Amino acid sequence: MQVNNLCQFLPQDKVQDFSKMDAQALLENTERSVGDPKLLEYHLKLKDQRVNFKKLEVDITNTKRLLESKTQRRDGLQQTVATIKEKKLIKKKIVTLKQKKAWMLYDQMRRKLVEVHQINFVKY
């Protein structure tokens, strides 16, 4: 026997409840009253999976934001590290140049001293 009108088999208070339901509740209650129990079970599992899917989407979005912020921070730190390394190289070069300058001054004074000694040696 095929049921064309569910309202014929339901008490009036249940019919009123059906009219007050939204589409989702109406579907679930129709599945409970008429459908195969497995159908309702699959439907509820599907709803749970959808909720889990939405949570995972939010988690993915948050993780992507975190990754982007960490990537930007890393890039900023890499620039800072590069600047610090460059400063260290410049300081090292300054020390080397100061040492070279001191050596050149020493060498220049030594030559002058040698010249003065040779001139004084030749005079005497």
C-beta of residue 34 within 8 angstroms of C-beta of residue 3: yes
- In 2-36, which residue ranges form alpha helices assigned H by DSSP? 12-20, 23-33
Residue 98 belongs to a domain: no
Domain assignment present for residue 18? The answer is no
* Res 3: pLDDT: 54
Instruction: Answer whether residue 71 is part of any domain.
Output: yes
Give tens-digit pLDDT for 92-113.
999 999 999 999 999 999 999 9
DSSP-assigned letters across all residues of 59-70: HHHHHHHHHHHH
Q: Could you read off the pLDDT of 24-77 as tens digits, one per residue? A: 887 777 777 776 788 888 888 999 999 999 999 999 999 999 999 999 999 999
Name the token pair of 77: 């730190």
Provide the domain count of the chain. Answer: 1
Asked if the structure places residue 4 within a domain, the reply is no
Q: What is the residue range of 49's domain? A: 36-92
* AA letter at 61: T
The CA–CA distances, whole Å, from 84 to 78, 88, 116, 118 equal 10, 6, 48, 51
Write out the two tokens for 28.
């679930």
Specify the pTM. Answer: 0.52
Q: Is residue 112 part of a domain?
A: no
